[in-house]
Amino acid sequence: MASISLRNIVKRYGVGPKANQVIHGVNAEVKHGEFVVIVGPSGCGKSTLLRMVAGLEEISGGELRIGDRVVNDLEPAQRDIAMVFQNYALYPHMSNFDNMAYGLKIAKVPKDEIKARVDKAAKILELGHLLERKPRELSGGQRQRVAMGRAIVRQPQVFLFDEPLSNLDAKLRAQTRLEIQKLHRELGITSLFVTHDQVEAMTLAERMIVMNAGNMEQFGTPEEVYHTPATTFVASFIGSPPMNLLKNAASSKPGTILGIRPEHLDVRSEGWEVKVETVELLGAERLIYGRINGEQLIVRVEEGTHAPAPDSVIHVVPRPDRLHAFDAATGKRIAA
């Protein structure tokens, strides 16, 4: 188990004035045994950052440490990491046992130790009854567990997960998230997990790195990122539905954007006047979509609350302790 230190990490493709810089000076300290999620939209640089940690992409600038070693120039095999990919990368002609054991056989680990490690990993992942089957005989979730088992038997200092749940349906994704949480509690190995799914990030992370266009927008716990977003990008990306960001609200100051989460707006007899456009019924809650001063506003209300008709007018009051202010020019949070 080891810490990961990212110090002003930069990635460029090409050289000279035409070089394309895609990662812009990322600084983050991942603690021993911590589970950190790197989250952001497609093309934000999250997988590139992970691949630099893995040694699959060259680092253009900065220093990367795993434990007490600078690993910038080390090959992947020398970094003591294990990686789980989106596409499983299992050998179809091998049994699941042999897939999990393959790396150990290449490393010439004794047979009895290989069996002990694979059996232990299979027990943790509830794969014992599937070891003699081939990958094609498994469901997508089972194949991903075999891929995780292959990483576990390596006994690495660091786990790296590159969107490992992307190929699973919604139910399997939720189930596999629980298995990954259980796995981390049992093994306690330092982990970096990349995803574009902010729900996945919020449920898995002890802390999360929010990436946008190659920049680290915020590094904090899910609670910190959700309740005190550092920028308008974080406010709009984290949360479903996202935070309302208003330029023309009556209580906003010139040059500022006012932020308020949909669940922190209360329907009242007086307050902000909102013209209702549509209402979504989501079981235990309702989302009211409307407009205020030409801007969209989303209000979340509980089941049982009267659903207003389209084109009607309602009044809402923001909870004053839940208001956020951002600089309109920079998008950065303004301290209260």
Query: What confidence tens digit (pLDDT) does each residue in 100-118 have?
Result: 999 899 889 999 999 999 9
Strands 158-162 and 324-327: unpaired
Determine the angle formed by the axes of helices 170-187 and 140-153, rounding to 10 degrees.
20
**168: pLDDT confidence band, cut at 50, 70 and 90?**
confident
Give pTM, 2 decimals: 0.90
Q: What is the mean pLDDT of the chain?
A: 92
CA 174/CA 239 separation, integer angstroms: 17
In this model, does residue 89 exceed pLDDT 90?
A: no
Determine the angle formed by the axes of helices 96-106 and 140-153, rounding to 10 degrees.
20
Q: Tokens 């990122």, residue?
A: 225
In this model, does residue 251 exceed pLDDT 60?
A: no
**36: pLDDT confidence band, cut at 50, 70 and 90?**
very high
- pLDDT (tens digit per residue) in 21-31: 999 999 999 99
Please report the domains of the chain, with CATH numbers, ordered by start residue: 4-230 (3.40.50.300), 241-327 (2.40.50.140)
In this model, does residue 253 exceed pLDDT 70?
A: no
- pLDDT (tens digit per residue) in 207-223: 999 999 999 999 999 99
In this model, does residue 64 exceed pLDDT 80?
A: yes
Q: If you average pLDDT over residues 277-288, what whole number do you get? A: 92
In this model, does residue 185 exceed pLDDT 60?
A: yes
Q: Which of 165-169, 227-231, 250-254, 267-271 has the highest mean pLDDT?
A: 227-231
**88: pLDDT confidence band, cut at 50, 70 and 90?**
confident
CA 144/CA 101 separation, integer angstroms: 15
Q: If you average pLDDT over residues 13-17, what whole number do you get? A: 87
Q: If you average pLDDT over residues 136-153, what whole number do you get? A: 89
Q: Give one word for 243, left, alpha or beta, with left for phi > 0 and alpha for psi -120 to 50.
A: beta
Residue 238, pLDDT score: 95
Q: Which residues of 64-74 are buried (b: 16+ CB within 10 A; e: fewer)?
A: bbbbeeebeee
In this model, does residue 300 exceed pLDDT 60?
A: yes
In this model, does residue 35 exceed pLDDT 90?
A: yes
Tokens of 76: 């992947």
**314: pLDDT confidence band, cut at 50, 70 and 90?**
very high
**250: pLDDT confidence band, cut at 50, 70 and 90?**
low
